[in-house]
């Protein structure tokens, strides 16, 4: 409440205590000098002692008016006996409002504010105790996280050690297999060279280019279909959100154009469009499918009988691409009935290099069958020696690589566990790596998987897509906050999420404070596609230190 009418008569101001508003640390500087002349705290000026706290600013640093609002940008100290002293800006002194920070009411002229330090102090202590309780409980959980980190460290260290041993073994094995492979390969190289010069090769090369072109087309086609679906989704959102255009005819045209194309009714025509839009969702989809059919029919009418229909493409293409060319080749060879047993082996000469390994594999199987039935001689095996050796080598190599990368990952994880910019100096965050927290806002479910990704999912019973709101990027990026400080861990940044198709990439600032649970409490989209989550985590609950405990006793 504003208490204008309680202003005291002028002389009362002049009698303001010279030490009013002076903080205890500076109290010694505010005593009457013998000379009667007082020096501003910055030493810039000497003024009569009478000018101190006379509600008229004399010192450039404002130090002559600790107890009034006369100097801008200075501060006022309220003692708050029975509670904790506080410092407020001088702009809040004598402004008619009783500052909650100054429960003793000393920020206003006497009689304006009552001394509420008893209640406020009590309330404060109650609140503080509650917070301490949470902090205490949280800190216990936190210490379990730290213990986990240490365990994890040991596990990873063991993993690194065992990996190192395994690497040594596997390296030897790889070296041995390499020697074998190289030896067998040098034997077969000359024969291979000859076969590749065969005059029938262009036919197969061409077949293979067709196949790979078809594959590429199929991939592109699929991409376009997805793109079309996405565009349709975007236009549906636009159409349903229909404020027809926010003053923009181009938008209206886009909506109308989409409705025409997709065979939808014009949404502006309905009595209650919002409702209609909701109801027509299923119709819409049907509509889209329908028009799709129509178009297909048209296309069919126009196309050559030989050409595939869209339906053929959908079902037949995969099958076609699954064709085993090698078997076909075999069948072909069989058909032309020129089967000196060597032909089988010559086939390889017709094949493009890319198919050779595949063919080799198949051929081995086939030949073993042929061998079983006595059709082909067993000397075949000899010819495949080189590839067998090569396969064994590559298997050994990939096994080795896996162990190396496992070791590397383990080492990296080890580095992060107790990294201040990773899981914290005490590793207190390691336990939460990948843990997902959710908040259901009704329309959406917001989720953040710590150190991984934040997402917006459709709410229960609501349709729609899931969007990535960003991948973990960093702790508090503020230049004012140093890694390792408590404030550093109070913010996480998730960025480079799914781009808003009309705006920036989605991102999240996760603001955390100490709490007994890992949870998100609020989600707000303060700027478009930029979210702020607030939540709690025990990982932020530092143990109450000795000083705090002492104060607690008081």
Binding site for other proteins (CB under 8 A): 2, 4-5, 7-10, 54-56, 58, 69-70, 72-73, 89, 91-92, 94-97, 237-238, 240-252, 254, 268, 271-274, 441-442, 500-503, 522, 524-529
The least distance separating other proteins from the CB of residue 503, rounded to whole angstroms, comes to: 6
Q: How many CA atoms lie within 13 A of 552 on its CB side?
A: 15
The least distance separating other proteins from the CB of residue 473, rounded to whole angstroms, comes to: 18
What would the DSSP string read from start to end of 265-295? PPGGGSSSHHHHHHHHHHHHHHHHHHHHHHH
Q: By C-beta, is 192 or 481 nearer to other proteins?
A: 481
Q: By C-beta, is 109 or 170 nearer to other proteins?
A: 109
- Give whole-number Cα distances, 424 to 411, 471, 485, 509, in Å: 16, 19, 10, 18
Q: By C-beta, is 277 or 514 nearer to other proteins?
A: 277
Residues facing 456 on adjacent strands = 446, 467
The least distance separating other proteins from the CB of residue 209, rounded to whole angstroms, comes to: 40
**Any idea of the CA torsion for 479, 456, 524, 101, to the nearest 10 degrees?**
-60
The least distance separating other proteins from the CB of residue 16, rounded to whole angstroms, comes to: 13
What element of type H or E holds 446?
Answer: strand 444-449
Yes or no: say if 458 and 466 are a contact pair by the CB < 8 Å rule.
yes
The residue behind tokens 């070791």 is: 407
Cβ contacts of 549 within 8 Å, gap of 6 or more: none
The least distance separating other proteins from the CB of residue 273, rounded to whole angstroms, comes to: 6
The least distance separating other proteins from the CB of residue 502, rounded to whole angstroms, comes to: 3
C-alpha–C-alpha distance, residues 531 and 525, integer Å = 4
Q: By C-beta, is 273 or 404 nearer to other proteins?
A: 273
| Structure tokens belonging to residue 333 | 């060879």
Q: By C-beta, is 53 or 383 nearer to other proteins?
A: 53
Q: By C-beta, is 148 or 258 nearer to other proteins?
A: 258
| Structure tokens belonging to residue 63 | 């130090």
Q: By C-beta, is 243 or 322 nearer to other proteins?
A: 243
The least distance separating other proteins from the CB of residue 508, rounded to whole angstroms, comes to: 13
| Structure tokens belonging to residue 114 | 């009552």
The least distance separating other proteins from the CB of residue 10, rounded to whole angstroms, comes to: 6
Yes or no: say if 428 and 142 are a contact pair by the CB < 8 Å rule.
yes
Packing angle, helices 356-372 and 325-336, rounded to 10: 50
The least distance separating other proteins from the CB of residue 55, rounded to whole angstroms, comes to: 7
The percent helix, strand, coil of the chain (3-state, each to 5) is: 55, 15, 35
Q: By C-beta, is 98 or 174 nearer to other proteins?
A: 98
Question: First-to-last CA distance in the chain?
Answer: 34
| Structure tokens belonging to residue 480 | 């004012």
C-alpha–C-alpha distance, residues 392 and 386, integer Å = 10
Q: By C-beta, is 86 or 403 nearer to other proteins?
A: 86
CB atoms within 10 A of CB 536: 20
């Amino acid at each position: 409440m504003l208490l204008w009418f309680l202003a005291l008569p002028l002389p009362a101001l002049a009698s303001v205590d010279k030490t009013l508003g002076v903080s205890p640390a500076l109290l010694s500087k505010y005593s009457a000098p013998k000379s009667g002349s007082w020096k501003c705290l910055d030493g810039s000026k000497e003024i009569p002692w009478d000018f101190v706290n006379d509600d008229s600013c004399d010192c450039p640093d404002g130090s002559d008016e600790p107890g009034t609002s006369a100097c801008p940008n200075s501060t006022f100290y309220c003692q708050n006996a029975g509670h904790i002293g506080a410092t407020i800006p001088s702009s809040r002194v004598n402004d008619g409002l009783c500052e909650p920070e100054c429960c003793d009411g000393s920020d206003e002229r006497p009689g304006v504010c009552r001394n509420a330090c008893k209640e406020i102090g009590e309330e404060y202590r109650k609140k503080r105790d509650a917070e301490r309780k949470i902090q205490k409980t949280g800190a216990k959980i936190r210490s379990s996280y730290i213990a986990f980190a240490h365990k994890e460290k040991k596990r990873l260290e063991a993993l690194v050690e065992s990996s190192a041993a395994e690497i040594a073994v596997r390296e030897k094995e790889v070296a041995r297999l390499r020697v074998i492979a190289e030896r067998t390969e040098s034997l077969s190289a000359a024969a291979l060279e000859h076969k590749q010069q065969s005059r029938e090769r262009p036919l197969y090369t061409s077949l293979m280019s067709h196949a790979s072109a078809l594959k590429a087309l199929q991939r592109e086609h699929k991409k376009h279909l997805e793109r079309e679906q996405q565009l349709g989704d975007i236009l549906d959102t636009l159409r349903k959100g229909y404020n027809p255009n926010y003053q923009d005819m181009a938008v209206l045209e886009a909506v109308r154009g989409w409705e025409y194309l997709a065979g939808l009714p014009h949404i502006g025509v309905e009595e209650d469009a919002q409702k209609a839009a909701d109801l027509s969702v299923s119709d819409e989809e049907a509509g889209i499918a329908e028009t799709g059919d129509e178009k297909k029919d048209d296309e069919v009418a126009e196309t050559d009988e030989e050409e595939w229909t869209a339906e053929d493409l959908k079902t037949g293409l995969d099958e076609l691409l699954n064709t085993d060319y090698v078997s076909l080749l075999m069948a072909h060879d069989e058909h032309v009935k020129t089967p000196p047993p060597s032909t089988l082996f010559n086939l390889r000469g017709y094949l493009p290099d890319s198919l050779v390994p595949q063919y080799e594999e198949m051929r081995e199987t086939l030949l073993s069958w042929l061998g079983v039935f006595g059709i082909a001689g067993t000397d075949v095996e000899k010819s495949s020696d080189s590839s067998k050796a090569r396969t064994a080598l590559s298997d050994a190599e990939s096994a080795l690589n896996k162990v190396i990368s496992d070791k590397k990952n383990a080492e990296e994880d080890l580095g992060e566990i107790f990294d201040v910019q990773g899981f914290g100096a005490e590793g207190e965050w390691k336990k939460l790596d990948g843990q997902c927290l959710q908040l259901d806002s009704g329309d959406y479910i917001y989720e953040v998987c710590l150190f991984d990704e934040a997402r917006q999912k459709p709410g229960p019973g609501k349709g729609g897509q899931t969007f990535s709101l960003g991948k973990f990027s960093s702790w508090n990026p503020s230049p004012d906050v140093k890694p390792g400080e408590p404030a550093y861990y109070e913010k996480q940044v998730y960025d480079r999420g799914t781009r808003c198709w009309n705006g920036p990439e989605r991102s999240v600032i996760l603001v955390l404070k100490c709490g007994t649970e890992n949870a998100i409490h609020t989600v707000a989209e303060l700027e478009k596609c930029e979210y702020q989550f607030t939540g709690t985590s025990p990982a932020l609950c530092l143990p109450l230190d000795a000083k705090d405990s002492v104060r607690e006793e008081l």
